[in-house]
Amino acid sequence: MKAAVYMGPGKIEVKEVETPKPKAGEVLLKIHACAVCGTDVRIFYHGQKNVVPPHITGHEFAGSIAEIGPGVTGFKKGDKVTSVTCVGCQKCLYCKKGLYNLCDTPRYLGYYYPGAFAEYMIIPKEAIDGGNLLKAPGSLSFPAITMVEPLSCVINGQDYLKVQKGDFAVVIGAGPIGCMHAEIAKASGAKTVVLFDVSESRLELAKRFDGLVLVNSAKEEPVKKVMDMTGGCGADVIVVACGVNAAQEQAVAMAAKLARISLFASLPKDNPFIKLDANIVHYKEVSVYGAFASYKKQYEKALSLIAEKKIQAEKFITHTYPLKDIVTAFETSKKGTGLKTVVTME
Ligand SMILES: [Zn+2]
Ligand SMILES: [Zn+2]
């Protein structure tokens, strides 16, 4: 099979490698498409300690079942599938609750296990046993299925926020994840969704989504803007989808009474601190949540939101490249001039 083999920072070779055979308990997938995640790009440029070259990355994939190893039940050849990325240990407190994303010793497809920037990929026995492999409705296109993983992470963030009908929602950061947050908030019944970004080109891209209020936060101060728009009440739901310390502080400052805030993006490792006005949290009864990756229930929710067309998955894809052009795909993703970039194997 053809695979994009990561050989160390800045080095990737698209070449012929041996097609894996599924052993007992494993499933072999034919990969049709795999979207580029920010972490794939970071690994390519900078490496990562738990990704040991030579290795195949890629975890936002859409495949079909090519071959089923002995002992696997519930699937048949040709089923359209994707998978929960995080393979839990099944022993820790969090795995027992089904929260593989919080596993004490997690192993990820595309990081620890070989991933999907290849024509075929093995789903390991631990993932099959853990129920990670998910069937997708036949009506979904392969590119649409690649959006399930990033959407599931966004749903994990918003599960805490409990967006109500009529809520005033704010998303800070209009990258692909920010746009997904805006769309999920809208689908959950928010009456107004304001999307802030400092980049005019990002806001331009977000115009493809109907009904969002797009504001350039370099030109209009976000807290003042939200207070003006809400008659001084503030926003009910705020998602910070950019790794900017000041944006997290703004989120607290623009909160309404009983607001829910998601600090969705991580901050720079060397400066993960913010100045939090704890009295706003106290007097306004504001809730502040974190979110990391996602678990099975949220993948299933993402699949049904796409199948019901409440989320138009293909709208998030602005660039598509064949596997041989994977470096261009990474470069495109890094530049941030589009939303999601997808690599196709056919
Ligand atoms: Zn991802
Ligand atoms: Zn665990």
Give the pLDDT confidence score for residue 346 in this predicted structure. 74
Give the pLDDT confidence score for residue 231 in this predicted structure. 98
Whole-number Å distance between alpha carbons of 242 and 173: 5
Give the pLDDT confidence score for residue 174 in this predicted structure. 98
Which residue carries 């997290």 as its tokens? 248
Q: How far is the CA of 220 from the centre of ligand 1 (A)?
A: 31
Q: Count of CB atoms within 10 A of residue 327's CB?
A: 15
Whole-number Å distance between alpha carbons of 176 and 144: 14
The per-residue pLDDT for range 43-68, each reduced to its tens digit, is 999 999 989 999 999 999 999 999 99
Q: Any idea which ligand is nearest the CA of 90?
A: 2
In DSSP terms, which residues pair with 237 in a beta bridge?
Answer: 169, 260
Q: Do domains 2-150+294-344 and 161-290 have the same CATH topology?
A: no
From first to last of its 346 residues, what are the pLDDT tens digits of the chain?
999 999 999 999 999 999 999 999 999 999 999 999 999 999 999 999 989 999 999 999 999 999 999 999 999 999 999 999 999 999 999 999 999 999 999 999 999 999 999 999 999 999 999 999 999 999 999 999 999 999 999 999 999 999 999 999 999 999 999 999 999 999 999 999 999 999 999 999 999 999 999 999 999 999 999 999 999 999 999 999 999 999 999 999 999 999 999 999 999 999 999 999 999 999 999 999 999 999 999 999 999 999 999 999 999 999 999 999 999 999 999 999 999 999 999 7
Give the pLDDT confidence score for residue 196 in this predicted structure. 98
Ion ligand 1 residue ranges (Cβ < 5 Å)? 37
Q: 2-150+294-344, superfamily in CATH?
A: Medium-chain alcohol dehydrogenases, catalytic domain (3.90.180.10)
Cα-flanking dihedrals φ and ψ of residue 164, to 5°? Answer: -105, 160
Q: 161-290, superfamily in CATH?
A: NAD(P)-binding Rossmann-like Domain (3.40.50.720)
Average pLDDT, the chain: 97
Q: Any idea which ligand is nearest the CA of 292?
A: 1
Side-chain half-sphere CA neighbours of 137 within 13 A: 15
Q: How many residues comprise the chain? A: 346
Whole-number Å distance between alpha carbons of 305 and 263: 23
Q: How far is the CA of 59 from the centre of ligand 1 (A)?
A: 6
Q: How far is the CA of 156 from the centre of ligand 2 (A)?
A: 18
Q: Any idea which ligand is nearest the CA of 98?
A: 2
Give the pLDDT confidence score for residue 30 in this predicted structure. 98
Q: How far is the CA of 153 from the centre of ligand 1 (A)?
A: 8
- 119-149 as b/e, with b when 16 or more CB fall inside 10 Å? bbbbbbbbbbebebbbebeeebbbbbbbbbb
Three-state secondary structure call for residue 137: coil
Side-chain half-sphere CA neighbours of 224 within 13 A: 6
Give the pLDDT confidence score for residue 90 in this predicted structure. 95
Three-state secondary structure call for residue 153: helix
Q: How far is the CA of 60 from the centre of ligand 1 (A)?
A: 6
Q: How far is the CA of 267 from the centre of ligand 2 (A)?
A: 25
- 309-324 as b/e, with b when 16 or more CB fall inside 10 Å? eebebebbbebebebe
- In this structure, are residues 293 and 94 in contact, taking their beta carbons and an 8 Å threshold? no
Q: Residue 58 — left, alpha, or beta (φ > 0 → left; ψ -120 to 50 → alpha)? A: left
Six-digit token string for 63 = 């495949």
Q: Any idea which ligand is nearest the CA of 100?
A: 2
pTM over 0.85: yes
Domain boundaries, the chain: 2-150+294-344, 161-290
Whole-number Å distance between alpha carbons of 339 and 241: 14
Q: Any idea which ligand is nearest the CA of 294?
A: 1
Whole-number Å distance between alpha carbons of 129 and 77: 18
